[in-house]
């Protein structure tokens, strides 16, 4: 296969170079080019995907060397494609052809210049950064070593501020050696983006939303301003409760939240400190999903089967046998793997779809499994389309579909699948603030985090953020958007962004912001379509085939139409709005406003 890959790449480059002469281009030339792209994706895509799968599941010197080699070749091929697609810019083409060419030109995250040496260097850096994160460990002494999972166990559950600080700082040690590699990667990527005709990586990244990049960014800020009062009220309440728990030395009564005591390694979710920030009515019933999973002694595969059943109840086809045979569900004991949960579409022709996840038997991973299967069923829904269209309507759609199902894991849903009795579900619904607080500590808390991460990255891309303020600018943005501060001084010898997978892994993050907004718009539209009457947070689309039809029709469009068209197909609207998320959390926001009376809310 490796020889085949080299042969096809050589033929492709030769043909591309011969096509880039001064002859007049025709529609027939475009058709031939698109047919060639389709064939290459069919032949080469599965081989490259398998190489990346191996590199994530067997982190060794050899696997990283192989994937770096594949990365270099695929990057060169993609740049060649983009350059050839650009030769048709002046042709008057049918809308479908023009869209395909534009997607080929803009389908990059970190493009290499059309230079074999730089492409190889970029591929090596990307492989090295991925391996540094996936195999990252830190030792305080010879017998006191931790990987991410071990550090996370402390952050997620400890209430000892010294232990929490140790785990929080320990994991961030892995970022230090990434700094220079990351900056060099961006430097090469900027050259590649400019070679493709973009102003730089920022222009490239935000040109993919079927609207001018500046308008898109204005739109995301507009929606954030709509939702921000809800987040501000939540931050104020959480700070007050943490102040009571830890005292002035750890949590001031005004201003920022210290990042290490929020129950999450990155402070992007505060769900694990729910017991501190909300005191449930002692007479009220609550549902502890983690306890239910453990009491029922569910296996990791059974947790995945339950998530699959949700999709089957909506009318989706069962997952293929190969999904169960080839996915990774449990962390191996004999090797390092990248445990960050992910979904894979290795070969559309054979329906080879998989997830890779080190499943823990808890509520968080139960929800995450539903999310990852959302990706898988999305892959299968647009499998029939040409390869250039086999993607989400925009990169936020894939995330939103998985997140959508999480909103339907309601007490009624848990009753339908036999996890709790009807009496237990009804009792839990009597205290909606408890239910909404649990969800908001993840669904609302994550919003400014998902917005600021790419704002930082964009600053690095444009050169506004340099090596001299790489870390301080990170914390300035976290303070501005999240009201979260580092628990200690973090100089420029640190590279704290590297402690988050999506930075060394080069995964754009605005998609998660879009997903967090869109999931509530999807949910509200489907519940309205179902004729659901009652509080929005009590609605579940489980076992509703009509909702399934609406979802599948949208998923099947892939990226073949502007994302606004797909969005309208499901919601009846063409623009993002914060209204649905505010409608969902309306009871909680009203409760927070009363709780915060007399408190000093906000931060500088």
362, exposed or middle or buried, with CB in 10 Å at 0-12, 13-18, 19+?
middle
- Which three-class secondary structure state does DSSP give residue 574? coil
Nearest Cα residue to 198 out of 183, 213, 209: 213
Look up residue 419 and give its two tokens: 């996890």
For residue range 447-475, list pLDDT tens digits in order. Answer: 999 999 999 999 999 999 999 999 999 99
CA pair distance 151, 443, nearest whole angstrom: 23
**Residue 548: alpha-carbon gap to chain centroid:** 23
On whether the pTM is more than 0.75, the answer is: yes
Q: Check whether 2 has a pLDDT greater than 60.
A: no
Looking at residue 7, its pLDDT comes to 36
Confidence at 519, pLDDT banded by 50, 70, 90: very high
Confidence at 264, pLDDT banded by 50, 70, 90: very high
Nearest Cα residue to 250 out of 552, 487, 573, 500: 487
428, exposed or middle or buried, with CB in 10 Å at 0-12, 13-18, 19+?
buried
Q: Check whether 1 has a pLDDT greater than 70.
A: no
CB within 8 A of 54, min separation 6: which ones? 63, 66, 67
Nearest Cα residue to 127 out of 218, 190, 66: 66
Q: How many CB atoms lie within 10 A of CB 65?
A: 13
Mean pLDDT of the chain, nearest integer: 91
Strands 352-356 and 144-147: unpaired
CA pair distance 250, 524, nearest whole angstrom: 40
Confidence at 25, pLDDT banded by 50, 70, 90: confident
Strand partners, 589: none
Residue range 486-497: average pLDDT? 97
Q: Check whether 6 has a pLDDT greater than 50.
A: no
Question: Left, alpha or beta for 264 (phi > 0: left; psi -120 to 50: alpha)?
Answer: beta
Confidence at 12, pLDDT banded by 50, 70, 90: very low
Residue range 387-398: average pLDDT? 94
Distance (Å) of CA 545 to CA 301, 316, 380 = 25, 9, 17
Nearest Cα residue to 155 out of 10, 234, 266: 266
Looking at residue 77, its pLDDT comes to 87
Above pLDDT 70, what percent of the chain? 96
Catalytic residues: 340-341, 371-372, 375, 399, 502, 512
Looking at residue 280, its pLDDT comes to 80
CA pair distance 416, 385, nearest whole angstrom: 35
CA angle at residue 294 from 289 to 295, to 5 degrees?
Answer: 95
Q: Check whether 3 has a pLDDT greater than 50.
A: no
Residue range 275-281: average pLDDT? 89
Strand intervals (E) in 468-508:
484-485
Are the CB atoms for 284 and 292 separated by under 8 Å? no
Nearest Cα residue to 110 out of 500, 504, 559: 504
Looking at residue 23, its pLDDT comes to 67
Count helices and strands (H / E) in the chain: 26, 6
Instruction: Tell me the chain's radius of gyration from C-alpha atoms.
Output: 24
Locate tokens 């509200």: which residue?
A: 524
Q: Check whether 442 has a pLDDT greater than 50.
A: yes
Above pLDDT 90, what percent of the chain? 77
Nearest Cα residue to 434 out of 278, 587, 289, 282: 278
Residue range 382-401: average pLDDT? 94
Looking at residue 566, its pLDDT comes to 96
Strand intervals (E) in 338-429:
342-347, 352-356
For residue range 78-127, list pLDDT tens digits in order. Answer: 888 988 998 998 899 999 999 999 999 888 889 888 888 998 899 899 98
Looking at residue 426, its pLDDT comes to 87
Locate tokens 């009318």: which residue?
A: 315
For residue range 208-256, list pLDDT tens digits in order. Answer: 899 988 899 899 999 999 999 999 999 999 999 999 999 999 999 999 9
For residue range 565-586, list pLDDT tens digits in order. Answer: 999 999 999 999 999 999 999 9
Most confident residue range from 113-117, 135-139, 229-233, 408-412: 229-233
């Amino acid at each position: 296969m490796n020889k085949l890959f080299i042969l096809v790449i050589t033929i492709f480059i030769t043909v591309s170079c011969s096509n880039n002469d001064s002859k007049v281009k025709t529609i027939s030339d475009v058709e031939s080019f698109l047919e060639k792209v389709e064939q290459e994706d069919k032949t080469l895509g599965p081989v490259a995907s398998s190489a990346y799968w191996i590199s994530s599941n067997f982190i060794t010197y050899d696997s990283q060397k192989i994937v770096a080699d594949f990365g270099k070749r695929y990057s060169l091929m993609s740049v060649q494609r983009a350059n050839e697609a650009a030769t048709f810019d002046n042709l008057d083409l049918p809308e479908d052809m023009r869209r395909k060419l534009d997607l080929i030109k803009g389908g990059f995250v970190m493009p290499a210049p059309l230079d074999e040496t730089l492409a190889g260097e970029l591929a090596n850096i990307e492989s090295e950064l991925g391996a540094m994160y996936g195999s990252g460990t830190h030792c305080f002494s010879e017998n006191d070593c931790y990987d991410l999972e071990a550090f996370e166990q402390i952050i997620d559950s400890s209430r000892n501020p010294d232990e929490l600080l140790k785990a929080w700082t320990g994991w961030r040690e892995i970022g230090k050696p990434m700094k220079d590699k990351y900056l060099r990667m961006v430097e090469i990527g900027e050259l590649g983006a400019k070679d493709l005709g973009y102003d730089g990586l920022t222009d490239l990244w935000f040109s993919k939303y079927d609207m001018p990049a500046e308008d898109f960014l204005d739109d995301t800020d507009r929606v954030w301003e709509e939702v921000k009062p809800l987040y501000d009220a939540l931050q104020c309440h959480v700070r007050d409760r943490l102040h009571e728990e830890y005292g002035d030395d750890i949590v001031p009564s005004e201003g920022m939240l210290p990042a290490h005591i929020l129950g999450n390694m990155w402070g992007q979710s505060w769900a694990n400190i729910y017991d501190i920030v909300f005191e449930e009515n002692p007479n009220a019933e609550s549902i502890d999903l983690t306890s239910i999973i453990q009491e029922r002694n569910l296996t990791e595969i059974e947790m995945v089967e339950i998530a699959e059943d949700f999709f089957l109840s909506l009318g989706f086809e069962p997952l293929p046998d190969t999904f169960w045979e080839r996915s990774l569900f449990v962390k191996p004991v004999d090797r390092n793997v990248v445990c960050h949960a992910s979904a894979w579409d290795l070969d559309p022709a054979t329906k080879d779809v998989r997830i890779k996840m080190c499943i823990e038997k808890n509520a968080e991973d139960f929800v995450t499994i539903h999310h990852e299967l959302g990706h898988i069923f999305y892959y299968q829904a647009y499998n029939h389309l040409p390869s250039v269209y086999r993607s989400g309507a925009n990169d936020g759609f894939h995330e939103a579909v998985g997140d959508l199902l999480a909103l339907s894991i309601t007490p009624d849903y848990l009753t339908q699948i036999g996890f709790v009795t009807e009496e237990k579900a009804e009792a839990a619904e009597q205290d909606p603030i408890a239910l909404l607080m649990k969800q908001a500590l993840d669904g609302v808390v994550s919003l400014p985090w998902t917005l600021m991460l790419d704002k930082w990255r964009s600053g690095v891309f444009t050169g506004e953020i340099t090596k001299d303020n790489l870390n301080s600018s990170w914390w300035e943005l976290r303070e501005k958007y999240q009201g979260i501060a580092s628990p200690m001084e973090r100089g420029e010898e640190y590279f704290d962004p590297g402690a988050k997978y999506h930075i060394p892994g080069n995964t754009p993050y605005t998609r998660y912001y879009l997903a967090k907004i869109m999931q509530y718009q999807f949910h509200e539209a489907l519940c309205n379509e179902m004729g659901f009457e009652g509080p929005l947070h009590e609605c579940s689309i489980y076992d509703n085939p009509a909702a399934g039809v609406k979802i599948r029709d949208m998923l099947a469009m892939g990226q073949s139409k502007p994302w606004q068209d797909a969005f309208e197909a499901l919601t009846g609207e063409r623009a993002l709005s914060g209204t649905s998320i505010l409608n969902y959390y309306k009871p909680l926001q009203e409760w927070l406003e009363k709780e915060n009376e007399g408190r000093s809310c906000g931060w500088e």
